[in-house]
């Protein structure tokens, strides 16, 4: 059994470099930029009014000024500037050359064509040309694009971007007991939940996930399923990873030429995790117990998918205080399903009494995984521990 950190390093080493593809800017939110994006213009492209009011020369601010023209957004004034004059101007309009400040209209009285500034302001209310960005400025690759990035890249006049292709993930559940949601289980059968949960986690991390038909517990069925996954960047199997007579995933993957990065790690839940490469695809063999599969999905599969897109990967633990005492830990790093509540300084973390790795209902109620290192001694309530937050849609 290797430690969790070593296992994660080996899993991340399976990531091939990101494959670049071009997408329309409108489709690029949530994607990872794969090449520098360079501004094709300067923003603002001209000195621009920040307020509705009058453009004037600061030196003239004490005098009555004659309004000799108008500059509106999209309709610049093209006349000749003269001392003692002002230009009616609106937010976003070019400030004509020869004028060096904009007085807000609330600070001005106007009679006919004559204005007077009754409340002088220190601010010139002009956004200088290039104040936001300049032609050739660039956004660096490796960035997960959010809504603000999309706005910036649109303003940079970039209708298309080079982003990392979404990793293609094939999710393969196996087990003679498994049916699809909606089917009626006979004696001894259950519904396959893991493949749906794992595909959801994969998509959350940016992958294009495909759920394969459930494989039976035979070598032929598993081989057939692996063949269907041939075009995937990552094959994620679920179940059949342990030591039972029907746990065939490792054997079949081995027969298909899998280069194993490791099998089994000092982690609870998730001990029988397997990782490696089959052909050009990375492979993760997740354990079948539903909580084990999801915890391994969060700790290993999601970071791998992020790394395949060129993102920094891994989890930074946060700190909380124990809400209850805990007994000494065993020889595996333990990820306990827990609830968080507000505390006086740090949040309080309360692990569930029952940590059965088959109980999805508890995982669904948890909002954190409390991380206890292997061999951690008994802990008192109030002691500081590490945890990983579990993401919530809301
Ligand atoms: N003698 C030992 N037995 C077990 C060990 C061990 O070290 N020695 N390890 C235990 C641990 S830890 C885990 S985790 C499980 C992992 O087992 P497998 O990966 O071989 O998974 P299965 O046996 O196929 O299934 C386990 C359990 O999960 C259910 N399952 C499987 N796939 C799905 C699915 N897609 N959706 C919902 N539920 C699923 C399956 O019905 C079983 O109940 O092994 C322990 N045993
Ligand atoms: O470690 Mo297994 O993954 O008990 O559930």
**Residue for token digits 């990392």?**
164
Distance CA 179, CA 160 (A): 43
CATH number, position 257: 3.40.980.10
Q: Which ligand is nearest to the CA of 176?
A: 1
Q: Which atom of ligand 2 is nearest to the CA of 291?
A: 5
Q: Do residue 81 and residue 135 come from a single domain?
A: no
Cα–Cα distances (Å) from 88 to 79, 80, 94, 261, in that order, read 13, 14, 11, 71
Residue ending a domain, among 119, 148, 164, is 164
Q: Do residue 180 and residue 260 come from a single domain?
A: yes
What local confidence, expressed as pLDDT, does residue 392 receive?
61
Q: Is the beta carbon of 288 within 6 A of some atom in ligand 1? A: yes
Distance CA 15, CA 249 (A): 21
Q: Which atom of ligand 1 is nearest to the CA of 193?
A: 36
What is the full per-residue pLDDT of the chain (394 aa) written as tens digits?
999 999 999 999 999 999 999 999 999 999 999 999 999 999 999 999 999 999 999 999 999 999 999 999 999 999 999 999 999 999 999 999 999 999 999 999 999 999 999 999 999 999 999 999 999 999 999 999 999 999 999 999 999 999 999 999 999 999 999 999 999 999 999 999 999 999 999 999 999 999 999 999 999 999 999 999 999 999 999 998 888 888 899 999 999 999 999 999 999 999 999 999 999 999 999 999 999 999 999 999 999 999 999 999 989 999 999 999 999 999 999 999 999 999 999 999 999 999 999 999 999 999 999 999 999 999 999 999 999 999 765 4
CATH number, position 383: 2.40.340.10
Residue 244 domain flag: yes
**In the structure encoding, which two tokens stand for residue 270, read together?**
């998730």
Residue 313 domain flag: no
Residue 394 domain flag: no
Residue ending a domain, among 253, 284, 308, is 308
What's the CA-to-centroid distance between 248 and ligand 1, angstroms? 12
Q: Do residue 219 and residue 299 come from a single domain?
A: yes
Q: What angle do CA 249, 253, 254 make, to 5 degrees?
A: 115
Q: Please report the ipTM that was assigned to this predicted complex.
A: 0.96
Q: Do residue 202 and residue 280 come from a single domain?
A: yes
What local confidence, expressed as pLDDT, does residue 394 receive?
43
Q: Do residue 152 and residue 228 come from a single domain?
A: no
DSSP state of 105: G
Q: Which atom of ligand 1 is nearest to the CA of 293?
A: 14
Cα–Cα distances (Å) from 142 to 4, 25, 26, 35, 299, in that order, read 25, 16, 18, 8, 21
What's the CA-to-centroid distance between 242 and ligand 1, angstroms? 7
CATH number, position 158: 3.90.105.10
Number of domains in the chain: 4
Q: Do residue 227 and residue 270 come from a single domain?
A: yes
Give the structural domain span for 59: 48-127
What local confidence, expressed as pLDDT, does residue 246 receive?
83
Q: Do residue 94 and residue 81 come from a single domain?
A: yes
What local confidence, expressed as pLDDT, does residue 354 receive?
96
Q: Do residue 119 and residue 156 come from a single domain?
A: no
Q: Do residue 37 and residue 67 come from a single domain?
A: no
Q: Which atom of ligand 1 is nearest to the CA of 217?
A: 24
- Give the other-Cβ count within 10 Å of 238's Cβ: 32
Contact between residue 241 and residue 257 where contact means Cβ atoms under 8 Å apart:
no
Residues near ligand 2 with C-beta < 6 Å?
268-271, 287, 289, 292, 357
Residue 208 domain flag: yes
Among 78, 79, 43, 86, residue whose Cα is nearest residue 62? 86
The pTM for the full model equals 0.93
What's the CA-to-centroid distance between 277 and ligand 2, angstroms? 23
């Amino acid at each position: 059994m290797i430690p969790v950190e070593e296992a994660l390093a080996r899993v991340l080493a399976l990531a091939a470099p990101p494959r670049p593809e071009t997408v329309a800017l409108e489709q690029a939110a949530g994607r990872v930029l794969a090449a520098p994006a360079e501004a094709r213009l300067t923003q603002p492209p001209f000195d621009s009014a920040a307020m509705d009011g009058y453009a004037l020369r600061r030196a003239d601010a004490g005098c009555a000024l004659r309004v000799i023209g108008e500059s509106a957004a999209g309709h610049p004034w093209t006349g000749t500037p003269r001392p003692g004059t002002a230009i009616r101007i609106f937010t976003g309009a070019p400030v004509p050359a020869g004028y060096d400040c904009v007085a807000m209209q609330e600070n001005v009285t106007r009679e006919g064509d004559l204005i007077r500034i009754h409340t002088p302001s220190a601010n010139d209310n002009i956004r200088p040309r290039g104040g936001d960005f300049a032609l050739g400025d660039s956004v660096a690759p490796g960035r997960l694009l959010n809504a603000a990035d999309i706005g910036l890249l649109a303003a940079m006049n970039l209708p298309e971007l080079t982003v990392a292709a979404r990793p293609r993930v094939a999710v393969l559940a196996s087990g003679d007991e498994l049916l699809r949601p909606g089917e009626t289980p006979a004696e001894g059968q259950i519904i396959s939940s893991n493949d749906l949960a794992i595909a959801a986690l994969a998509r959350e991390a940016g992958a294009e996930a495909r759920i394969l038909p459930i494989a039976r517990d035979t070598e032929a069925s598993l081989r057939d399923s692996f063949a269907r996954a041939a075009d995937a960047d990552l094959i994620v199997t679920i179940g059949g990873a342990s030591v039972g007579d029907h746990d065939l995933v490792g054997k079949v993957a081995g027969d298909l030429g899998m280069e194993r990065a490791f099998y089994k790690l000092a982690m609870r839940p998730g001990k029988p995790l397997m990782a490696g490469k089959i052909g050009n695809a990375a492979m993760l063999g997740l354990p079948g117990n539903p909580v084990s599969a999801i915890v391994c999905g969060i700790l290993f599969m999601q970071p791998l998918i992020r790394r395949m897109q060129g993102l920094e990967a891994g989890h930074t633990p946060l700190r909380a205080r124990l809400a209850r005492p805990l007994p000494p830990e065993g020889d595996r790093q333990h990820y306990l399903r827990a609830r968080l509540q507000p505390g006086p300084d740090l949040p309080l973390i309360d692990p569930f009494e029952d940590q059965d790795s088959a109980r999805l209902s508890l995982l669904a109620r948890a909002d954190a995984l409390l991380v206890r290192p292997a061999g951690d001694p008994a802990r008192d309530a109030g002691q500081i521990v590490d945890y990983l937050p579990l993401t919530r849609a809301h």
